[in-house]
Amino acid sequence: MSIPADILQRQAFPVLDDEQIDALRAFSTEKVTQPGDVLFEVGDSFYPLVVVLEGRTRILERSESADRVIKESGRGEFHGELGMLTGQRAFAACVAATPGRVLLAQAAAVQEAIRTVPEVSDLLVTAFAARRQILMQSASASLTIIGVEETASVRALQEFLDRNRIPHRFIARVDPAVTVVLAPFGYPPPAQTLVVVRGTRLLADPTPIELARALGLDLVVDQEGPADLLVVGTGPAGLAAAVYGASEGLSTVAIDNLAIGGQAGTSSRIENYLGFPSGISGGELAFRGEVQAIKFGARVTVPRRATRLEERDGCFIVGMDDGGELLGRSVVIATGARYRRLGLPNQEQFEGAGIYYAATDLEARFCGGNEVVVVGGGNSAGQASMFLSRHARRVHHVYRGSGLQASMSDYLIARLQRVPNIKLWFGTNVTELFGDEALKAVTLRGPQGNKVRVQISAVFAMIGADPCTDWLPGSLERDAKGFVRTGQEVGGSSSYETSIPGIFAVGDVRATSVKRVASAVGEGSVVVQAVHRYLQETSPTVAPEPISASA
Ligand SMILES: Cc1cc2nc3c(=O)[nH]c(=O)nc-3n(C[C@H](O)[C@H](O)[C@H](O)COP(=O)(O)OP(=O)(O)OC[C@H]3O[C@@H](n4cnc5c(N)ncnc54)[C@H](O)[C@@H]3O)c2cc1C
């Protein structure tokens, strides 16, 4: 449900009235400005909210050649963005254009204002969210990926950026524009994929984490003591735990390996989530959840992968892939599940270059009016086929079972049967993949062993998922498939407590959970009550040393 551009503009750039300015004054300091005074600079983290009282201020995009004015503001207008609350570094600079006066509110004070003054909270949070959306919609030249479309490295970067709603553009290696973009850097390094950040920095074959660092997405969680609640995984379950935890007064830190939203974030349309009768894209739902979590003061950071969980001196330590550690008095495991691979010998060659595990706008770009295959019998497979039928010439929906009734919702089956360019194949498997740099064809093997080769440009594997539990200690009880066991049968004092008191599990990662967005959100919300109870029952402990947490 996208907001019309004029309404989005009004939401993004409101003018504060005197009463609202006075409300913010309590959280700010006043500064007299002269033309050229820098109020925050590109790269600053926890930069202040700037409210103009008198005179004019400008937001500038810095570049090698000249600064570009993105926005000029006068009395009652303010400069700030969602990232200022999360510790993200400033993408642009803010300078005074004329003599004047401004209010400066540091990030922590803005968070406090949002928490305690409802009129200010609504206005700021709505404006910040709208600004981020406008930024996403405008093709930004501040981040450019140069490479070969559909290669795994380009796709990994695009997935990270898209899923985190970070504006960027892609230029094919063969495009003449590449010469202009790379001109400031002299002879380009011999890399397959190059990324130009703000026209000033060139990265050769960066990983998503390296790109996040270059973008200033690194958050520094200054832990003076353990967080009340550490949430690992920010799919619907983890995000709900972060929102409810933070809103109910727990100091809450959440991390995710890739992006906020989890599997749901890859869904093009979730139609069965309460309150969205015409459906909502997973990306949009995740964004709303992220804004809500940040609004309540949860510290959410990506991309950070949890690599271990251990108990030390009565607290829990989550080790991360960057070597940092987070410390918590309780932990909610919400790491969900990972897509199952097709199990074909050369599948890795085509991952990101013809084999996909999600069907969003990003993957739809690669259909290009060709034929595609969707494999699977669940709702996610059905939704993928419906969605892709609008982008592909034909969708071959392949399922190894004899019918969909046992695994897919009736409404989806009825829809699939009605779409003319969807062909249903039952008792069928994909047995071979063909192509060179990209996938070109597959062999489908039918119920009688009959084989047919189909020219396609993509296979969407929607065949289930395995739990993301490889980072957990062996002592934490799991079922035969690796899902985390919780509740009375493992000695848990609530339905979501694991075999280790103080560690809880919610959502798809939990054994016997219903694998749905609503149930993941429900479990993430409800678990906070059990966390509260656990924290009350265990006396606060002395924090162990050291806490090196760069998250
Ligand atoms: C394409 C698709 C469409 C779907 N459509 C629907 C639908 O319409 N309706 C519906 O109800 N359900 C739908 N589902 C199912 C639904 O999305 C899931 O049930 C739900 O997302 C589970 O939420 P979760 O938070 O438990 O886990 P996940 O969504 O799996 O989130 C887990 C998160 O943990 C992170 N993570 C994993 N390991 C680590 C680690 N070691 N360190 C840090 N982070 C980690 C992952 O990056 C991920 O973001 C769909 C699923 C898919 C894939």
> Which pLDDT score, from 0 to 100, does residue 549 have?
41
Look up residue 110 and give its two tokens. Answer: 């803005």
255 lines ligand 1 (CB under 6 A): yes
**DSSP string for 247-307:** HTT--EEEE-SS-TTGGGGGBS-B-SSTT-TT-B-HHHHHHHHHHHHHHTT-EEE-S--EE
Least confident segment among 139-143, 151-155, 318-322: 139-143
**At a CB cut-off of 8 Å and minimum separation 6, what does 118 contact?**
none
283 CA distance to ligand 1 middle (Å): 12
- CA separation for the pair 368, 293 (Å, rounded): 37
266 lines ligand 1 (CB under 6 A): yes
> Which pLDDT score, from 0 to 100, does residue 141 have?
55
232 lines ligand 1 (CB under 6 A): yes
Least confident segment among 29-38, 131-140, 271-280, 470-479: 131-140
Nearest CA to ligand 1 atom 11: 516
Mutate to test the pocket of ligand 1, among 517, 526, 527 (most ligand atoms within 8 A of CB): 517
Residue of 247, 251, 253, 212 whose CA lies nearest to 233: 253
380 lines ligand 1 (CB under 6 A): yes
462 CA distance to ligand 1 middle (Å): 13
Residue of 160, 279, 275, 289 whose CA lies nearest to 234: 289
Compute CA distances 114 → 287, 346, 350, whole Å: 18, 52, 46
330 CA distance to ligand 1 middle (Å): 22
Residue 258 has pLDDT above 90, yes or no: no
Question: How are beta strands 331-333 and 503-505 bridged, if at all?
Answer: parallel
Residue 371 has pLDDT above 90, yes or no: yes
pLDDT in tens, 477-524: 999 989 999 999 999 999 999 999 999 999 999 999 988 899 999 999
290 CA distance to ligand 1 middle (Å): 15
As a whole number, mean pLDDT of residues 259-277 equals 84
469 lines ligand 1 (CB under 6 A): no
Q: How confident is the model at residue 548 (pLDDT cuts 50, 70, 90)?
A: very low
The answer to whether the CB of 107 falls within 8 A of the CB of 295 is no
Residue 208 has pLDDT above 50, yes or no: yes
469 CA distance to ligand 1 middle (Å): 14
Residue of 379, 263, 331, 340 whose CA lies nearest to 484: 331
Residue 420 has pLDDT above 90, yes or no: yes
Q: If you count them, how many residues does the chain have? A: 551
The answer to whether the CB of 300 falls within 8 A of the CB of 293 is yes
* Percent of the residues in the chain that have a pLDDT greater than 70, as a whole number: 94
Question: DSSP secondary-structure letter at 162?
Answer: H
515 CA distance to ligand 1 middle (Å): 9
> Which pLDDT score, from 0 to 100, does residue 177 have?
87
3 CA distance to ligand 1 middle (Å): 26
Number of helical H runs and strand E runs in the chain: 15, 30
> Which pLDDT score, from 0 to 100, does residue 136 have?
66
163 lines ligand 1 (CB under 6 A): no
161 lines ligand 1 (CB under 6 A): no
Q: How confident is the model at residue 140 (pLDDT cuts 50, 70, 90)?
A: low
Alpha helices by DSSP H, 88-117: 107-116
Distance separating the N- and C-terminal Cα atoms of the chain? 32
238 CA distance to ligand 1 middle (Å): 10
> Which pLDDT score, from 0 to 100, does residue 2 have?
59
Nearest CA to ligand 1 atom 8: 270
234 lines ligand 1 (CB under 6 A): yes
Residue 450 has pLDDT above 90, yes or no: yes
263 lines ligand 1 (CB under 6 A): yes
User: What is the chain's mean pLDDT, rounded?
Assistant: 88
Closest ligand 1 atom number to CA of residue 509: 26
More confident residue, 304 or 65: 304
Residue 135 has pLDDT above 80, yes or no: no
508 lines ligand 1 (CB under 6 A): yes
The answer to whether the CB of 218 falls within 8 A of the CB of 269 is no
- CA separation for the pair 235, 242 (Å, rounded): 10
332 lines ligand 1 (CB under 6 A): no
CB atoms within 10 A of CB 38: 13
Residue 329 has pLDDT above 90, yes or no: yes
> Which pLDDT score, from 0 to 100, does residue 50 have?
97
* Percent of the residues in the chain that have a pLDDT greater than 90, as a whole number: 55
Q: Which of 150-154, 223-227, 279-283, 486-490 has the highest mean pLDDT?
A: 486-490
Nearest CA to ligand 1 atom 48: 262
Nearest CA to ligand 1 atom 49: 262
336 CA distance to ligand 1 middle (Å): 5
332 CA distance to ligand 1 middle (Å): 15
Kind and range of the H or E run holding 410 = helix 410-418
Residue of 375, 325, 364, 337 whose CA lies nearest to 547: 325
Amino acid at 195: V
Residue 33: beta bridge partners?
100
Residue 350 has pLDDT above 90, yes or no: no
> Which pLDDT score, from 0 to 100, does residue 540 have?
55
As a whole number, mean pLDDT of residues 74-86 equals 88
User: Tokens 């919609």 identify what position?
Assistant: 137
- CA separation for the pair 102, 314 (Å, rounded): 47
> Which pLDDT score, from 0 to 100, does residue 545 have?
41
Residue of 197, 190, 188 whose CA lies nearest to 140: 197
Give the phi and the psi of residue 461 in degrees, each rounded to 5. -90, 110
pLDDT in tens, 523-536: 999 999 999 999 99
Give the phi and the psi of residue 516 in degrees, each rounded to 5. -145, 155
Closest ligand 1 atom number to CA of residue 271: 8
Amino acid at 29: T
465 CA distance to ligand 1 middle (Å): 10
Residue of 466, 423, 462 whose CA lies nearest to 446: 423
49 lines ligand 1 (CB under 6 A): no
Nearest CA to ligand 1 atom 4: 380
Angle at 129 between CA 293 and CA 158, to 5 degrees: 90
267 lines ligand 1 (CB under 6 A): yes
As a whole number, mean pLDDT of residues 28-38 equals 97
As a whole number, mean pLDDT of residues 428-448 equals 94
Look up residue 475 and give its two tokens. Answer: 């002592």
As a whole number, mean pLDDT of residues 159-165 equals 81
Kind and range of the H or E run holding 69 = strand 68-73
> Which pLDDT score, from 0 to 100, does residue 64 have?
63
CB atoms within 10 A of CB 182: 17
Residue 253 has pLDDT above 90, yes or no: yes
471 lines ligand 1 (CB under 6 A): yes
521 CA distance to ligand 1 middle (Å): 11
Q: How confident is the model at residue 219 (pLDDT cuts 50, 70, 90)?
A: low
